[in-house]
Chain A
Amino acid sequence: MSNTNYTLPADNDGRPLLKFLADQLKPKAKILTPFNIISIPIITIGIVLVVIRFVNGIGAVSNVSQEVPWGLWKGFNVVTGVAFAGGAYVITFMVYILNIQKYKSIVRVTVLNGFLAYVFYAGALLLDLGKPWNVINPIIGNSFGVSSVLFLVAWHFLLYMIAQLLEFSPAIAEWIGAKKARGILSGMTIAAVIFGITLSTLHQSGLGALFLMAKEKIHPLWYSEFIPILFFVSSIFAGLSMVISEGSISQKVFFNQINPENRKAHKGILHGLSKICAFTMLVYFFLQIVAFVHGKHWGLLNTRMGHWYLTEMLGFVLLPMALFFYSYRKQNTFLVKISALITMIGVIINRLNVTIIGFRWDAASHYVPSWMEIVVALMILFVEIWIFRWVVRRLPVLRESPSWVMEH
């Protein structure tokens, strides 16, 4: 391997492990970046708010009510965040199951992104639980509520985090120079991938199935028995749009980590992904039409919620789908990124419509998140990005594995 034209941070090779780890804890880049200047105050305020939440109860910081018991932390951080983390199962499916080598260079970063997303959204879940110390009950307790969709989702979150950690573990082994462990861990990748895709299928749709019992509470334009399928299909293009956006940002921020070959290949990856996005969005749009026709809600279209529904379907599904097709035909990378951005906004709108905006839309008082909820939601996001950046700067995520991996 002769990668001399870009800086290759050293992975551990023979140094004592503790000394190496202590060295790795030091900051590796400038501290006063725009992102840090915005995120540090928000994280600090967020931590204070979390303390207040645990001392005085959820009501002290959050506007959730008896009618709308799930607010921004569940609707945005958990339900929307998990959809965006869907990129990991789609990319591992293409690379490990379909053996499409083209996407191999982005597997690690996508899995890392997915893993951190789950860890932090599980964290958001803990903040939102009234008695978080009882969270172990459905895991170890003698009280398995197997008839609950949430029981399934909780278990799948946990198992999927383990599967993703396994998928990512060879990178950790390479980083600390554990050659033997790397061999064992990478041998488990295929099993973890197959298990992970199965779990993802079920809990991505399960997040939608959570709302099946709230039949009369969700606006009929967003409630249908198709919610689980719609959530699953939309998680594919939600996840891939996230991969497109994250990849484009990484190309800039972590420029010196990526070797020139992969930098060049990135364009091809974006166009491949835009094609997949376009087709899954076509399927999704079709399913939405089926759900709409099935529900017989023509009369609702010309209401305020109906206009909002049309905005979502036309402006944030049909439009980005067309843009994805167009940008693929024209091989226009800029347009791919724009389409991904619109798609992501659309997915956020969709998830919030089901969980918050359309939920008890007919109630006398509507739920609007407090500024404190928004700060905590952003804090979770920012801490995740901090950890992500920390890992990418140190572990072989975007850059090549150490040379001893090839020799094996």
Chain B
Amino acid sequence: MGINRRNFFRALGITGVSLGAGKKLGANPGKKDDKEFSAILYDATRCVGCQSCEFACALANGLPEPDGEDYPVPGTIRKTNENRRTVINAYETSQGEVYAKSQCMHCNQPACVAACLTKAMQKTEEGPVIWWDRKCMGCRYCMISCPFDVPKFEYHSPNPDIVKCNMCFDRVKDGELPACVTDCPAEALTFGTRRELIAEARRRIHEDPDIYYDGIYGEHEAGGTGYLYLSPVPFEELGLNTKIQKKSYPELTKGFLFSVPSVFILWPAMLLGIYNATKNNAKTEEDHE
């Protein structure tokens, strides 16, 4: 029993330390204070639904361009898929026909990145969430986890990729604008740091409160996203998911993951203790039965 008790206290100590360390590690997710996340502000009051962003995106990423039949019509929802990373949809709203773009939201703390067990999905320091084909094993756990249903999978390829908007990471890294932002003729898309864009969005709402719905979609959704939406109507009218929680999604598995080291230390100690305690009872047990 002496050994057990010693084991027990040792385990307790290690557990305490690991729990403490775990909490400390989790408390400050934004480690680079000197670098701000880049973001894109999409203003639905300006968007004319011309699909220029779709064409620009297809060209920049070597994807097929939308054909003439494939344009936004109210009542039909066009979805992103393995051949298009962004789409414009038209919605019949209380303010008439309004367009809304959809693509990866580039969350501050993305669920897909937390889900990825090979680090194929990454939140870059610059802000874009990118996917690396070399590491991915195609488990599609990112698709299960993403609250916005963004990552798409090439189901009909023997060497399938995950496809999603990467905010034109290569261009952003070189100081250029993402293709969709460059090609938008209506200036509905603005590229900048997330902080600047939130300030800009607030300014627009403040200056034209009659035009804008009072809110920025993406400011708090899923713990904050890199794509921010301004809209003339409540966001649910534009097909945006308003059930999204305000906390970040990786937060949901944190409790479970933090309990792992404690179980890993407490369980063996406890099992060893019971084993030693019952070792000599084997005979008695047999009689009892």
Contact = CB atoms under 8 A, between A and B. Distances in A.
B124 interface: no
A195 B269 CA distance: 10
Interface of B: 79, 81, 111, 113-120, 135-141, 143-145, 147, 149, 152-161, 241, 243-245, 249-250, 252-253, 255-257, 260, 263-264, 267-268, 271-272, 274-275, 278-279, 281-282, 285-286, 289
Which A-B residue pairs are the 8 nearest by beta carbons? A130-B138, A59-B155, A151-B117, A134-B137, A69-B140, A213-B145, A143-B119, A130-B160
A154 interface: yes
Interface string A240-278: 000000000000000000000000000010000000000
A97 B144 contact: no
Interface in A206-225: 206, 209-217, 225
A54 B137 contact: no
Contacts of A96: 275
B271 A194 contact: yes
A205 interface: yes
Contact of B253 (A130, A149, A195, A197): A149
Contacts of A138: 117-118, 137
Contacts of B267: 194, 197-198, 201
B281 A66 contact: no
A99 interface: yes
Contacts of B113: 147
A131 B115 contact: no
Contacts of B120: 143
Given A197-B271, A210-B144, A97 B278 contact: yes
A212 B81 contact: no
A345 B281 CA distance: 37
Contacts of B143: 66, 69
Most buried by A among B138, B154, B244, B245: B138
A190 interface: yes
B137 A60 contact: no
Given A144-B119, A202-B263, A70 B256 contact: no
A268 to B, nearest CB: 8
A368 B149 CA distance: 19
A195 B268 contact: yes
A147 B249 CA distance: 12
A190 B244 CA distance: 47
A66 B79 CA distance: 10
Contacts of A225: 252, 255
B69 to A, nearest CB: 21
B78 to A, nearest CB: 13
B158 A57 contact: yes
A99 B250 contact: no
Contacts of B289: 101-102, 268
A310 interface: no
A162 interface: no
A147 to B, nearest CB: 5
Nearest to B249: A213
Given A150-B141, A213-B249, A214-B144, A66 B116 contact: no
Given A57-B157, A101-B286, A145-B117, 17 more contacts: A57-B156, A69-B153, A93-B271, A102-B285, A130-B153, A130-B161, A131-B160, A137-B135, A143-B118, A198-B263, A198-B267, A202-B263, A213-B114, A213-B250, A215-B147, A215-B249, A228-B256
Contacts of A198: 263-264, 267-268, 271
A58 interface: yes
